[in-house]
Amino acid sequence: MGRTLATFTQLIDQEWSAWQSFRRALRKEDQDHFDALFRAAKYHVAAGSYASKSAPFEAMIVAMLIESYKTNALLEARVLRLEAFLTERKSP
């Protein structure tokens, strides 16, 4: 007997396919970012599978936001370290 519900990974792929007309209208560099967002959603498949029953796209968006937030936090920490390094170099 087969599964009756799609996996979260399958839901992401289906949603990605449904957005292809939108994707094609984007500039090339924006298409790359668009694809990266959907890849980011796949990093949270386990969590998404719990939330996907009622609203799969919302679970995908939250997964994308988490990855975006993590990237932003890493970049912010890097900037702070670089600023501290430059401040130390300027001090006599």
- Phi/psi for 52 (5° steps) reads -75, -15
pLDDT exceeds cutoff 50 at 26:
yes
Length of the chain: 92
Of 33, 32, 41, nearest in space to 62 by CA = 41
Q: How far apart are CA 45 and CA 8, in angstroms?
A: 6
Domain limits, the chain? 8-90
- Token pair 């992401």 is at which residue? 12
CA of 22: how far to CAs of 26, 38, 58, 60, in Å? 7, 14, 18, 17
Q: For the segment 34-89, what is each residue's pLDDT rounded down to a tens digit?
A: 999 999 999 999 988 888 667 888 889 989 999 999 999 999 999 999 999 999 98
The answer, as to whether pTM is greater than 0.75, is no
pLDDT, position 64: 92
